[in-house]
Amino acid sequence: MRITFLGHSAFLVEVNNITIVFDPFLTGNPVVPANVNITADYILVSHGHNDHSSDVLTLAKQSGGTVVAVFELANYCTRQGAKAHGMHIGGAHDFGPFQVKLTQALHGSSLGGDNGPAEYLGNPCGFLITANGKTLYHAGDTGLFGDMALLGRLHSIDLALLPIGDNFTMGPEDALEAVKMLQPGQVIPMHYNTFPLITQDPFAFKKVVEEQTTSRVCVLQPGETFDLT
């Protein structure tokens, strides 16, 4: 399983001859790699906020990929002409090349609202995906919650993608507690340093996690790749 960081909370995952994109925020993303050009067989969207969904419809229509999201957000994408598969938190589905299970996330999910009413799109979520005996957890935008310990007990998580930016999500201190509960083999921090409001030092996070847990932290710059083997 090869994971490429696209900045913010966006990742490209290549596994079993397919591509999976998490939370494609490319348009308007100040840290997206230059000249990024991706296609997707599946697009996993944790919630409707623009910094996670700005390129979902364009990517889905151009590549013919399937959007995977909570039911309300999937229905929205279908109404806009995209192919989508709706799910809900706690549900799992086998897509063939990989399996996915939706987890809770403590956040919001809407589109618009800056200059008028927002359209609410169901609950936010995270994703557990499993392929070739490896499990990856993309937490989405979330605060710390106690059931992360349950996720860690029920699933052997090889790699956790965790937000550390604070203000809108967990900060580094709460993300450390998340690592202690999830007990992943590896951690990649996300959702930080995209904007001044979520500025953090990922290497300070790496140091404290590796001092206090057995998990290893890999800090990726946008465009860099991690191989989960």
Q: Say which amino acid occupies 20.
A: I
pLDDT at position 113: 83
68 strand-pairing partners: 44, 85
What pLDDT is stored for residue 115 in this prediction? 82
Residues 6+ apart with CB under 8 A from 115: none
pLDDT at 184: 98
Per-residue pLDDT of the chain (229 residues; tens, 9 = 90+): 999 999 999 999 999 999 999 999 999 999 999 888 899 999 999 999 999 999 999 999 999 999 999 999 999 999 999 999 999 999 999 999 999 999 999 999 999 888 888 899 999 999 999 999 999 999 999 999 999 999 999 999 999 999 999 999 999 999 999 999 999 999 999 999 999 999 999 999 999 999 999 999 999 999 999 999 8
Instruction: Report the pLDDT value the prediction gives residue 116, as an integer from 0 to 100.
Output: 81
pLDDT for residue 87: 98
Structure tokens at 10: 């966006």
Q: How much is the pLDDT for 53?
A: 96
Which pLDDT score, from 0 to 100, does residue 37 have? 86
* Burial group, residue 82, by CB count within 10 angstroms (0-12, 13-18, 19+): buried
Predicted TM-score of the model (pTM):
0.97
List the beta bridge partners of residue 104: 125
**Domains detected in the chain:** 2-227 (3.60.15.10)
Distance, CA of 14 to CA of 12 (rounded, Å): 7
